[in-house]
């Protein structure tokens, strides 16, 4: 077949593609580094011609031209599955969050969301068989395209080709239009050095890891510190099954720690749904047969995760209360990120044979010169519960690990007070007494690491 002729028939400019959008339309952009860029820039030029165009995205990594062109949100309004990167500039102004459990994203796209009028995804160039690759993200590309009236691809020669997996490719005959982009660099993110507190938290987790663990790392300093420590450790035959593939995995692989030999499913493969990190990371995942890119309803399915023995999930949060409720997405009512896949992995890892789920947080935070405890009697007013107390497994601060599973309310309070900063323990006890979750027999264990 002459796929090149099919390609040329669908080829249009970004400006021509933007003219396909009508007032009132829903437009979906690709996830993360696959977010449409040139199309959005072209669409912004049509601001005065359009009203109430609703854009859906997830971790939009590139400049939001339409949001910048319309700060009042009269012409373009953004809706984000997870607020991060460029999204944070507009949250509460002309960008709003869509609550979700990440593994349900494709299902929600197909079942509950307003159908897309236009779907635009940044992809790799077409191969000799007529296929484009979603590159750095197979999260929900096909779900968005299945529900869209008009399917558009934005080709970027810099996009890594990521082997799968499932739903990582789309054929030229399955799309309506193709844009050849300006080939801007793919968005990168740095990995900051962990603080001394984050290193201490990571040390407690490292003590619980063993050969053959399958590891999921979330976003944050502590997961990054764990990855670096693993790379420097004697651990071996580790596996990878994660939503987000980051530079820490590359470090572990280069150190010879990752083989996937002990995985129950996808043995020998590093499984992920999207990648974000350095250019070195993108070069590594490009055309790498040792990795498998899957849609997020596979990587984040608690049922799938539970099938992998000795699964370890490591994530971070903002605050936790004495009942074991975890907030990882807001500071009070101020939106910071989103639920993402944290709850998916908390539940899946706990159900894994030999599985462990860790939620990490420094015991304190300093705001405007005032130090406060991140472990609170109850969550701050307006704080969103990311992980309900029924799901939370192990919470970790620089003072140790508190296991919530199988614990009554007074046991939970005791365990959490023991990993709080010593400065705030007495006050937490008083609050626990007021809330009737502190018994006279409760004990306080000093300032060392307490493991329950």
Cα-flanking dihedrals φ and ψ of residue 326, to 5°? -115, 130
Q: Which tokens is 114 given?
A: 């307003």
Q: What phi and psi, each to the nearest 5 degrees, are found at residue 182?
A: -75, 0
Catalytic residue among 243, 319, 347, 398: 243
Convert 417-449 to b/e letters by CB count within 10 Å (16 or more is b): bbbbbeebbeebbebbeeeebbeeebeebeeeb
Q: Judge whether 243 counts as a catalytic residue.
A: yes
Q: Which residues are catalytic?
A: 243
């Amino acid at each position: 077949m002459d796929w090149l002729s099919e390609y040329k028939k669908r080829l249009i400019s970004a400006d021509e593609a933007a003219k396909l959008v009508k007032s009132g339309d829903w437009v979906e952009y690709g996830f993360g580094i696959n977010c449409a860029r040139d199309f959005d820039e072209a669409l912004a030029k049509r601001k005065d011609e359009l009203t109430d165009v609703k854009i859906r995205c997830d971790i939009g990594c590139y400049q939001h031209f339409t949001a910048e062109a319309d700060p009042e949100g009269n012409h373009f309004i953004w809706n984000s599955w997870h607020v991060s990167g460029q999204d944070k500039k507009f949250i509460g102004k002309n960008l709003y969050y869509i609550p979700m459990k990440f593994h349900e994203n494709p299902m929600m796209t197909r079942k509950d969301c307003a159908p897309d009028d236009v779907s635009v995804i940044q992809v790799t160039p077409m191969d000799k068989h007529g296929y484009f690759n979603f590159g750095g993200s197979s999260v929900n590309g096909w779900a968005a395209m299945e529900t869209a009236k008009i399917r558009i691809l934005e080709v970027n020669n810099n996009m890594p080709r990521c082997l799968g997996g499932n739903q990582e490719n789309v054929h030229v005959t399955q799309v309506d239009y193709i844009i050849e982009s300006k080939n801007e660099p793919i968005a990168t993110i740095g990995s900051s050095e962990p603080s001394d507190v984050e290193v201490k938290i990571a040390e407690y987790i490292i003590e619980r890891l063993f050969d053959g663990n399958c590891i999921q790392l979330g976003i944050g300093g502590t997961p990054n510190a764990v990855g670096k420590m693993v790379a420097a450790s004697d651990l071996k035959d580790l596996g990878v099954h994660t939503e987000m593939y980051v530079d820490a995995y590359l470090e572990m692989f280069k150190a010879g720690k990752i083989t996937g030999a002990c995985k129950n499913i996808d043995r020998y493969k590093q499984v992920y749904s999207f990648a974000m990190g350095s250019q070195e990371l993108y070069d590594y995942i490009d055309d790498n047969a040792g990795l498998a890119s899957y849609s997020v309803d596979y990587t984040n399915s608690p049922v799938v995760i539970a099938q992998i023995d000795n699964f370890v999930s490591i994530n971070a949060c903002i605050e936790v209360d004495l009942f074991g409720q975890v907030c990882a997405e807001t500071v009070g009512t101020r939106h910071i990120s989103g639920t993402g896949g944290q709850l998916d992995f908390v539940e899946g890892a706990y159900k894994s044979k030999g599985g462990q789920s860790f939620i990490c947080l420094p015991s304190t935070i300093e705001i405007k010169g005032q130090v406060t405890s991140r472990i609170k009697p109850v969550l701050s007013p307006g704080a969103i519960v990311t992980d309900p107390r029924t799901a939370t497994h192990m919470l970790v601060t620089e003072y140790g690990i508190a296991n919530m599973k199988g614990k009554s309310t007074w046991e939970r309070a005791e365990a959490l007070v023991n990993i709080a900063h010593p400065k705030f323990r007495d006050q937490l006890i008083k609050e626990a007494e007021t809330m009737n979750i502190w018994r006279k027999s409760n004990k306080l264990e000093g300032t060392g690491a307490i493991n329950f």
